[in-house]
Amino acid sequence: MRISGSCHCGNITFSLDWRPEPAEIPARACSCSFCLKHGGLWTSCPTGSLRITIRQPGLVSRYSFGTRTAEFHVCSSCGVVPVVTSRIDGRLYAVVSVNA
């Protein structure tokens, strides 16, 4: 199963390939203050693959706060956060917005 999404203006797009295909897509609401203000609702697939495309890298900012364990990829043009990444013990993890 493939889930695709983007920021509002299409500058940041993603394609998440689920393997194996799930019966339903699990979504998680984050309770951090940033996600609460942005209505963050996220999903991820540890066995899948994620492709992120950025048309204009100069219009993407990365925001981290608190423990700095996650980077919110914010489109500077439209203000939407479609992807969050985190590097833990050298491995890159990501969640994508189910609303993107």
Q: Residue 29 sits in a domain of what CATH number?
A: 2.170.150.70
Question: Does residue 16 carry a pLDDT above 90?
Answer: yes
- Got the DSSP string for 28-73? EE--SHHHHHHT-EEE--TTSEEEEEES-GGGEEEE--TT---EEE
What whole-number percentage of the chain has pLDDT above 90? 63
pLDDT tens for 50-91 read: 999 999 999 999 999 888 889 999 999 999 999 999 998 999
Let me know: does 60 contact 11? Beta carbons within 8 Å: yes
Residue range(s) defining the domain that contains residue 51:
2-97
Q: How high is the pLDDT of residue 75?
A: 98
The band of 23, judged by pLDDT with boundaries at 50, 70 and 90, is confident
Across the chain, mean pLDDT equals: 92
- Domain count across the chain: 1
Q: How high is the pLDDT of residue 33?
A: 87
Predicted model pTM:
0.89
